[in-house]
Structure 1
Amino acid sequence: MQVSVETGDGLTRRLRVELPAEEIEQEIEKRLQNYARSARLPGFRPGKVPLRMLRQRYGDSVRLEVFGERIEASFPQAIAEAELRPAGRPDIEPDLDRDAGRYAYLAEFEVMPELTLTSLDGQSVRRPQVEVTEADVDETLERIRQQRKRWEPVERVAASGDRLSLDFEGFIDGEPFAGGRGEGVQLEIGSGRFIPGFEEQLIGTAVGDKPVVEVTFPEDYQQTALAGRSARFDVVVKRVEEPILPALDADLIAEFGVEDGDVERFRADVRANLERELAQRVKARVKEQVMDALLEAHPLPIPAALLADEIDSLRQMTMRNLGGAGSQISESKLPDELFADNARRRVALGLIIAEVIKQQELSPDPERVRAALEEMAASYDDPQAVIDHYYADRQRLASIESMVLEDVVVEHLLEQLQVTDEPISFSELTAQQQ
């Protein structure tokens, strides 16, 4: 077998492989002879068909079969000999000429980018320094009450925070437009669900009022035909309701498993959850900066095959996350461009991190894996059942090990970085990450 390599654009390589013709011809002859022992053709007894007739009738198909098998078997050997690491499947073009005794093929593929690790010395990371305060606990408790509020009809004019039931129809240049009509639509004033300026113009209206609302669609509005255009909405107010928030009492907190109704114990549970969330957010913020530093220090060309696979993986993940709503969205409505930047980042980081792990011989400690799993399971009703679920399946446990290994990599890289504590409030940290 003779192997030669030609370098194409970027990561593209063209591998030409010449296969030994004598060996292939011998294999073809061997298979025809074996077939001759049982071959049936009209006018001949089984096993008595002349070999020359079998060559004439089946020689070409057997030749293609043997040639295809030799291509498949030789390709791994050829790339090993050429010291290449393909990224994705090759495009193979056979080059077969029986008369010239040529059995060859051209394989075109991308290779994995070469990577030399660079120290991160001189780069810096800002670590959020934040504590959970009583005000953060109060804000969370208020959010819990808001989530469980009920609505009561009122006979007064609408105020911010009220919920209205509306009929409306929109017009642009005096003509109704698609999607501009609604009946019995519920709108909470101040929620920001409608076009900017719409909700505020309903403050002070009452049941039976027919206000005319004039607004301008944002320049970046999702329906491009409406973006930046002025519209008039004829509105009918059908109902006005005010929110009634539940008291922070035993009945409310019993819904969260505090059966004895102890409000202080519930506050303690809320604080513990916030502190757990805080630790995760700080960890994520630091990790993000470390990954940014890693990417900046190691610019890489990305193989198109790996990028395409990652884009498809992100698209499928999005479809699963959409759940029932995903059935209303075809994959064609989720174009590659929607995922390209994130996919490129994920592929690049995967390649760089793999090299760090390899060179530094990093691995996840079993005790640390157990601790990470216990921490994750703590938020479930039956933590032990969750832990058993992961340890019962090697593949499931591998996902936890991978997560821990990433943490090990981040800690290793942090030793090369300058870390500065940055005082910040819990709410500011949450807003930044959102």
Structure 2
Amino acid sequence: MADESAVVDAPDAEEARPEQTVKVEDAGPALKRLTIELPESRIKGKIEDTYTNLSNDAVLPGFRKGRAPRRLLEKRFAESIQGDVKNQLLSESYHQALEDEGLDVIGEPDVKDIDELEVPESGSLTYTVEVEVTPDFELPKFDGIKVEKKTFDVTDADVDAEIEQYRERYGQMSAVEDATVAEGDYVQSDVKVLAGENAGDDAEVVHEHPAAYTLVHGEDKEFKGHVAGILVDDMGKQLAGKKVGDTVSISMTGPEGHENEGIKGQPITLVMALTHVHRLEPAAVEDLLPQFGMQTEDELKERVKTMLEQRNEQTQQADMHKQATEQIVEAVELDLPEGLKGRQIERTLQRQQMELLYSGKQPEEIEEELAEARTQGEAEAVRQLKTFFVLDKAAKELEVEVTENEINGRIAMMAMQQQRRPEKLRNEMRQRGELEQLYLSIREQKTLDKIIEQASVTEVEAKDGE
């Protein structure tokens, strides 16, 4: 509601503490209920201050600026003055209560019955506000954490497989006329997500995605595939043998972690109208050389080996971070605010996308992993929330800071992997509100690095497939 925004902005000036009475109660997991009472003297003082400011600035017909009589100001501006006084009193008293009670707020305040609240002509004003706060818990000792450091060797086969991926990435995609869909094809379709199981044409359309691409996987990927951000377990089987002009309908339950409430956990029907079938012709190895600034295939292989070694270092670090995080989170007991769980799902997906980009994953791989993540739902959101609070507290205890240079360096690395200009990527991330997530990601990684410095680390050889 419009008035509620007044509670969010902190007072501009630091003044002597006005009188008020505050009662704090537990209202749920990491949720506090504040009952705030403002005495009549504070209310009248605020009303007088507001009328004084208005009197100094108001210009009314027949009166010079600052000369309009009080009764005329009250008659003309009484309603707006009441609203201004109410908003100011709520904002100032709420933020004063947070400071006085030492509450670390993580959500927006919920002022109860805010529309019915009125500034009384006499007597006190009492209101109730509920707000989510940081859970209170103790961290375990970091020197009790045990982590395995897995070592990786880059083989010639690894290099050849990576070059094969580059051949596909820089290959030519072409539409195949009158083709029958087969494994490895890219199917373009106009997708509608309908509400309900086995929904017909008259069903509600909860989402549309024209010209969506789906890579048709076979047995090696368990026939899984995604479209419009939704993972379908047997997508490869559903599409195999189809042709342009065919329509595929898939009845299923929407993933629990989907951002669209009409899809999340709901019975839906995916309708895919196939418009094109594309096949990839991999690029020749010699055509890759200019892309990497290389003269010979041996030079390319050496460059790719170096890149894989760097990627393995990132994988090694990420694995150690994961081990440490799991042990710390497992050792901590804390209650989470209910309201945060739903909001966390979208943040989790955004964060995971950014970390996948940093790891060098390709767009198709990223979309597959995000589609898989959407199936994990609330349980994963709860785990991510718990991890955030634990690592946030650890970062504060370990005095971890993130510099602007570190943020720019991470953006430059992501831009290089995507073959884009860093400044353009940064602007896009700013517009999408992703810079804060990037800051938190770097902060958590630095925090885990410091934790691992105190942990017991054992070096082991990575197993095949890891």
Same fold (TM > 0.5): yes
Could you tell me how far 1:348 is from its partner in structure 2? Answer: 2.5
Tell whether 2:316 aligns with 1:254: no
Answer yes or no: is the 8 Å Cα contact 2:395–2:444 preserved in 1: no
Could you tell me how far 1:107 is from its partner in structure 2? Answer: 1.7
Partner residue in 1 for 2:400: 362
The letter for the 2-side match of 1:79 is L
Q: 2:153, 2:318 → 1: CA distance? A: 16
Partner residue in 2 for 1:212: none
- Structure-to-structure mapping, 1:213-224, within 5 angstroms: none
Select 2:457's aligned residue among 416, 419, 422: 419
Partner residue in 1 for 2:301: 267
- Structure-to-structure mapping, 1:291-330, within 5 angstroms: 291-314=325-348
Could you tell me how far 1:389 is from its partner in structure 2? Answer: 8.8
Q: 2:282, 2:453 → 1: CA distance? A: 49
Answer yes or no: is the 8 Å Cα contact 1:131–1:425 preserved in 2: no
Tell whether 2:366 aligns with 1:348: no
Could you tell me how far 1:296 is from its partner in structure 2? Answer: 1.0
More divergent stretch after superposition (14-23 vs 268-277): 14-23
Answer yes or no: is the 8 Å Cα contact 1:137–1:271 preserved in 2: yes
Describe the superposition over 1:120-147 as per-residue Cα deviations: whole angstroms up to 9, x where unpaired.
4444323222100112223333444566
Tell whether 2:160 aligns with 1:138: yes
Could you tell me how far 1:113 is from its partner in structure 2? Answer: 1.0
Q: 2:69, 2:391 → 1: CA distance? A: 62
Q: 2:100, 2:415 → 1: CA distance? A: 48
Partner residue in 2 for 1:113: 135
- Structure-to-structure mapping, 1:48-59, within 5 angstroms: 55=74, 59=78
Answer yes or no: is the 8 Å Cα contact 2:38–2:126 preserved in 1: yes
Describe the superposition over 1:22-69 as per-residue Cα deviations: whole angstroms up to 9, x where unpaired.
24224435655776796869xx98999875576567546533432321
Could you tell me how far 1:83 is from its partner in structure 2? Answer: 2.3
Q: 1:99, 1:300 → 2: CA distance? A: 45
Answer yes or no: is the 8 Å Cα contact 2:107–2:131 preserved in 1: yes
Describe the superposition over 1:105-130 as per-residue Cα deviations: whole angstroms up to 9, x where unpaired.
22222222113222144443232221
Could you tell me how far 1:76 is from its partner in structure 2? Answer: 1.0
Q: 1:12, 1:396 → 2: CA distance? A: 27
Could you tell me how far 1:11 is from its partner in structure 2? Answer: 2.3
Partner residue in 2 for 1:330: none
Q: 1:140, 1:35 → 2: CA distance? A: 71
Q: 2:319, 2:83 → 1: CA distance? A: 57
* Unmatched runs of 5 consecutive residues or more in structure 2: 1-18, 188-198, 202-213, 226-233, 243-249, 256-265, 270-278, 357-362, 364-370
Q: 1:131, 1:51 → 2: CA distance? A: 84
Taking a change above 3 Å as real, the CA distance of residues 357 and 225 of structure 1, as seen in their structure-2 partners, is closer
The letter for the 1-side match of 2:133 is V
Describe the superposition over 1:90-110 as per-residue Cα deviations: whole angstroms up to 9, x where unpaired.
222466573651222222222
Partner residue in 2 for 1:210: none
Tell whether 2:44 aligns with 1:12: no
3-state SS of the aligned residue for 2:292? Answer: coil
Taking a change above 3 Å as real, the CA distance of residues 405 and 14 of structure 1, as seen in their structure-2 partners, is closer
Q: 1:359, 1:377 → 2: CA distance? A: 32
Taking a change above 3 Å as real, the CA distance of residues 66 and 121 of structure 1, as seen in their structure-2 partners, is same
Taking a change above 3 Å as real, the CA distance of residues 144 and 112 of structure 1, as seen in their structure-2 partners, is closer
3-state SS of the aligned residue for 1:415? Answer: helix
Taking a change above 3 Å as real, the CA distance of residues 295 and 190 of structure 1, as seen in their structure-2 partners, is closer
Answer yes or no: is the 8 Å Cα contact 1:122–1:418 preserved in 2: yes
Partner residue in 1 for 2:105: 86
Partner residue in 1 for 2:94: 75
3-state SS of the aligned residue for 2:291? Answer: coil
Q: Which has the larger radius of gyration?
A: 1
**Normalization by structure 2: what TM-score?**
0.57
Q: 1:53, 1:367 → 2: CA distance? A: 58
Partner residue in 1 for 2:190: none
Tell whether 2:316 aligns with 1:278: no
Tell whether 2:125 aligns with 1:103: yes
Q: 2:405, 2:215 → 1: CA distance? A: 52
Could you tell me how far 1:80 is from its partner in structure 2? Answer: 1.5
More divergent stretch after superposition (127-136 vs 367-376): 367-376
Taking a change above 3 Å as real, the CA distance of residues 277 and 104 of structure 1, as seen in their structure-2 partners, is same
Q: 1:397, 1:6 → 2: CA distance? A: 35
* Unmatched runs of 5 consecutive residues or more in structure 1: 166-176, 180-184, 203-216, 227-241, 326-332, 430-434
Answer yes or no: is the 8 Å Cα contact 1:189–1:200 preserved in 2: no
**Normalization by structure 1: what TM-score?**
0.61
Taking a change above 3 Å as real, the CA distance of residues 379 and 114 of structure 1, as seen in their structure-2 partners, is same
Q: 1:225, 1:396 → 2: CA distance? A: 30
3-state SS of the aligned residue for 1:273? Answer: helix
Could you tell me how far 1:199 is from its partner in structure 2? Answer: 9.9
Partner residue in 1 for 2:8: none
Could you tell me how far 1:418 is from its partner in structure 2? Answer: 3.1
Tell whether 2:43 aligns with 1:24: yes
Q: 1:145, 1:64 → 2: CA distance? A: 66
Answer yes or no: is the 8 Å Cα contact 1:121–1:417 preserved in 2: yes
More divergent stretch after superposition (131-140 vs 193-202): 193-202
Taking a change above 3 Å as real, the CA distance of residues 17 and 196 of structure 1, as seen in their structure-2 partners, is closer
Percent identity between the aligned chains?
20
More divergent stretch after superposition (93-102 vs 65-74): 93-102
